[in-house]
Structure 1
Amino acid sequence: MSEHTSGAYTGEISADMLASVNATGAIIGHSERRQYHGETDSHCNRKVKLALDKGLVPIYCNGETLEQRKSGQHFEVIKNQTEVALFTLSAEEIKKVVIAYEPVWAIGTGETASPEQAQEIHAHIRSLIAAKYGQEVADEISILYGGSVKPDNAKEIFSKPDVDGGLIGGAALKIEDFTAIIKAFD
């Protein structure tokens, strides 16, 4: 979704256009947007606010690179991303945001975060929200996992207490795989 309300921004779509076709949400800050289009957390902040203003559910993505994880910076990276992109929102606004943790190192690489690694970061994100807005608000927010969810790992990942669902990518392209992931919630 574009951070601009109108104008010639080829390849982007405005929040108004999304709302006009009854879209209900918009993915903001996806790792591919960050990597290929230079999207920053400041851009994400503007987009999240615009999505909320237009009645869309912002699905805000954050996550660390392999280098950041290996150097032990992953908690700080997630903290900085979350604070810049979301912490200008009111408590009522942030309750309407869905957060999707995308370990960049696990997307399209064949690597997958272990369920314990996913839980660790999801709990960290929830604790950041709780510190800023209170535990009640933090408990209301949905935090999705978006790092190569597949039929063979979905059940274990989704069983973790702070993992509220998945942002499914490539596995959604095969109906059998997507159906198996959905059934992992049973």
Structure 2
Amino acid sequence: MRKKIVAGNWKMNLTLAQGEQLINDILQAGLKLKEGQEVIVATPFPYLQKAKSLLKSYPGYFVAAQNCYSEKSGAYTGEVSAEMLQSIGVDYVILGHSERREYFQESNAMLAKKIDLVLAAGLKPIFCCGEPLEIRQAETQNAYVAKQLEESLYHLTEEQLKNVVIAYEPIWAIGTGLTASAAQAQDMHAFIRSQIANKFGREAALHTSILYGGSAKPGNAAELFANADVDGGLIGGASLVAADFVAIIEKLA
């Protein structure tokens, strides 16, 4: 009914040669993707065209940028537009990653603008949402995530939403020593899907892929992906190790 996706976010890691080797190692594993399954590689900007050329002959494999700017074009030195990404064959764009929100003060309103530009360029956003530790401790995570969804996605039409993937990041469980259980992941994914259903309708919610972005590894991927509302993962560190990334992909139902 909806796509099952494993997306690897390389962040600011690897040289071009190392990235090329990583992609080749993943492809040499000879994975047989099932219908409706996708693998996405989100490389740094300088490697996007190389990644696209390596993956273009492999059905089910796609390339994502890790960000884009919130304006279409202009005097914004050092920034990259959605239109530029489209022109080099990029398929997806990660938007609203917790690191972008924290380090670069990206607001929900700014992300709404980015969503619009990415969709207008014919690309697909992977929209990240999730709560920090103090919000989880206060048990207000549902309201916090609901606000992120409302302020960044609710202006879209149901037709536009069909091209949006959502990724839930429990920020409190990343690098803190705490762990999000599969049950906690399922609870939030189910809540997100219920919010989408309330706004866009049940059918739209059933077709929206929601990925888990909380330090998924080969050892916990199967348990996470077995949940009814977890449609795959947005993978960080484990995506930099070919064997680990392949093992996670293999856990897709």
TM-score of the pair, normalised by structure 1:
0.97
1:133 and 2:200 matched: yes
Residue type of the alignment partner of 1:21: I
Note the alpha carbon deviations across 1:5-58, whole angstroms, 9 max, x for none.
Answer: 112434431001100110001000000000000001111111111100000001
1:142 and 2:209 matched: yes
Of 1-10 and 60-69, more deviation after overlay is shown by 1-10
The number of residue pairs the alignment matches comes to: 186
Specify which structure has the higher proportion of helix.
Answer: 1
C-alpha distance in 2, partners of 1:7/1:103? 35
1:157 and 2:209 matched: no
Residue type of the alignment partner of 1:114: S
Higher RCO (Cα < 8 Å, 6 or more apart): 2
Give the 5 Å matches for 1:9-28.
9-28=76-95
C-alpha distance in 2, partners of 1:155/1:53? 35
Residue 136 of structure 2: SS of its match in structure 1? helix
1:65 and 2:148 matched: no
1:88 and 2:155 matched: yes
Which protein has the larger Cα radius of gyration, Structure 1 or Structure 2? Answer: 2
C-alpha distance in 2, partners of 1:7/1:111? 43
Note the alpha carbon deviations across 1:61-113, whole angstroms, 9 max, x for none.
Answer: 00000110010110000110000000000010111100000111122334331
**2:171 corresponding residue in structure 1:** 104
**2:107 corresponding residue in structure 1:** 40
Give the direction of change, closer, same or farther, for the CA distance of 1:81–1:177 in structure 2 (3 Å limit). same
C-alpha distance in 1, partners of 2:204/2:211? 16
**What 5-or-longer segments of structure 2 have no aligned partner?**
1-67
Specify which structure has the higher proportion of strand.
Answer: 2
**1:180 corresponding residue in structure 2:** 247
User: Which of the numbers 110, 113, 116 marks the counterpart of 2:183?
Assistant: 116
**1:54 corresponding residue in structure 2:** 121
Residue 100 of structure 1: SS of its match in structure 2? strand
TM-score of the pair, normalised by structure 2:
0.72
C-alpha distance in 1, partners of 2:93/2:210? 15
Please report how far the alpha carbon of residue 133 of structure 1 lies from its aligned counterpart in structure 2 after TM superposition.
1.0
Runs of 4+ in 1 over 4 A off after TM superposition: none
